Structure 1
Amino acid sequence: MRVRAGFHGVDRVLTQQAASRIPKRAGRVLSAVEEAAESSKLWWGAAAVMAAAGGRRGRAAAVAGVSAVAVAQLVSNGLCKQLADRPRPPKEWIPHDEVYDRPDSSSFPSGHTAAAVAFTAAVTPAWPAAGAVCALPAAMVALERVQSGAHYPSDVAAGAVIGAASAWLVRRAPYPLLRRTT
C-alpha cells in the first residue's frame, strides 16, 4: 500500500510539473501535433508518404508501422482501457483550459502514446532515417498527453511499453504475413 501511495505521489508531482512548466507556445505546438495524431492520422499520413516515396524500403516501413499501430490500438484501447478503469488526473492539478477537452474513457494506458511508439519502433528497423524523423512527433505526443492533463506519466509509460511490444511482435511476424509486400 505504501509503495502505491509513493507511486501515486510521483505521478501527481510529474503531472503537475508538466502541466505548469511548459510555456504556452510550446503547449500549442504539442496540441497541434497531438491533434494530427488523433485517430492515428499522423501515422497513416507518414506511412502513405513512406510507401509512395521510399521504394521497397518505404513500403516495408509503412506496412510495419501501420501493422504495429493496429496491434497497439487493439491492446491499449480495445483491451487495457476496458480492464483498467482509472480516472483521468484531477482537473485541479492542471492550471490551463486544455484539461476540459479530454476524453471520458479510462486514463490507463495512453493509446496515443502506444500508437506513436509502435509506429516509430516498427518503422526504424526498416528505414532508420524515417524512424528518426518519426521519433520527434512521437515524443511530442507522449509529452502532450501529460501536459494537457489527459494522462498520468505512468499511463504514458505503459502506452510506450505497449507500443514497443507491438512493434516487436510485428517485426517478428512470420515471413509471409509481413515481408511478402516488400
Structure 2
Amino acid sequence: MKLLTGLFETDRVLTQRAASRIPRGVAKVLSAVEESAESTKLWCGAAVVMASLGGWRGRRAAAAGLGAVVVAQLTSNGLCKQLADRPRPPAEWIPHDEVDDRPDSSSFPSGHTAAAVAFTAAVVPVWPVMGAVCAVPAAAVALERVQSGAHYPSDVVAGAAIGLAGAWLVRRTPRLILRHGL
C-alpha cells in the first residue's frame, strides 16, 4: 500500500510541476507535435519519408517502425486501457485550459507514448540517424501527455515500456520464427 501511495504522490508532484513550469511557448510546440502524432499520423508520415528517400534501409526502418507501432497500439489501447480503468489526472492539478481537451478513455497507459517509443526504438537499430531524429518528437509527445494533464507520469513510463517491448518483439520475431520453424 505504501508503494502505491508513494507512486500516486510522485505522479501528483511531477504532473503539477510539468503542467505549471513549462513555458507557454514550449507548451504550444509540444501540443503541435502531439497533435501531429494523433492517430499515429506523425509516425506514418515519417515511415513514408523513410521508405521514399532511404532506399532499402529506409524501407526496412519504415516497416520495422510501423510494425512496432501496431504491436504497441494493440497492447496499450486494445488491451491495457480495457483492463485498467484509471481516471485522468484531476483537473485541479492542471493550471491551464488544455485539461478540457482530454479524452474520456482510461489514462493507463499512454498510447501516444507507446506508439512514439515503439516507432523510434524499432527504427534505431536499422537506421540510427533517423532513429535519433525520431527520438526528438517522441520525447516531446511523452512530455506533452503529462504537461497537458492527459496522463500521469507513470502512464507515460508504462507506455514507453510497451513501446520498447513492441520494438523488441518486431525485431526478434523473424529470429524466433526461424529458430522454431514456424
> So what's the TM-score if we normalise by structure 1?
0.96
Distance across 1 between alignment mates of 2:28 and 2:64: 30
1:54: Cα distance to partner? 0.1
2:93 counterpart of 1:93: yes
The residue number in structure 2 matching 1:8 is 8
1:2: Cα distance to partner? 1.6
1:6: Cα distance to partner? 1.2
The residue number in structure 1 matching 2:145 is 145
* AA in 1 matched with 2:130: A
Distance across 1 between alignment mates of 2:7 and 2:30: 26
SS of structure 2 residue aligned to 1:126: coil
* AA in 1 matched with 2:30: L
2:173 counterpart of 1:173: yes
The residue number in structure 2 matching 1:121 is 121
SS of structure 2 residue aligned to 1:59: helix
What's the CA shift string for 1:20-61, capped at 9, x where partnerless?
Answer: 000000000000000000000000000000000000000000
Q: How does 1:16-165 map to 2 (within 5 A)?
A: 16-165=16-165
1:3: Cα distance to partner? 1.6
1:69: Cα distance to partner? 0.2
Alignment: residue pair count:
177
Distance across 2 between alignment mates of 1:31 and 1:173: 34
Aligned residues: CA RMSD: 1.1
Distance across 1 between alignment mates of 2:45 and 2:81: 26
SS of structure 1 residue aligned to 2:150: coil
Distance across 1 between alignment mates of 2:174 and 2:143: 34
* AA in 2 matched with 1:137: P
Distance across 2 between alignment mates of 1:2 and 1:76: 26
What are the ranges of 5 or more consecutive residues in structure 2 without an aligned counterpart? 178-182
Distance across 1 between alignment mates of 2:7 and 2:118: 26
The residue number in structure 1 matching 2:180 is none
Distance across 1 between alignment mates of 2:3 and 2:33: 35
Which stretches of structure 1, 4 residues or more, deviate above 2 A after TM superposition?
A: none
What's the CA shift string for 1:137-178, capped at 9, x where partnerless?
Answer: 000000000000000000000000000000000011226x8x
* AA in 1 matched with 2:69: V
Percent sequence identity over aligned pairs: 76
SS of structure 2 residue aligned to 1:125: coil
What's the CA shift string for 1:52-94, capped at 9, x where partnerless?
Answer: 0000000000000000000000000000000000000000000
Distance across 2 between alignment mates of 1:118 and 1:172: 14
> So what's the TM-score if we normalise by structure 2?
0.96
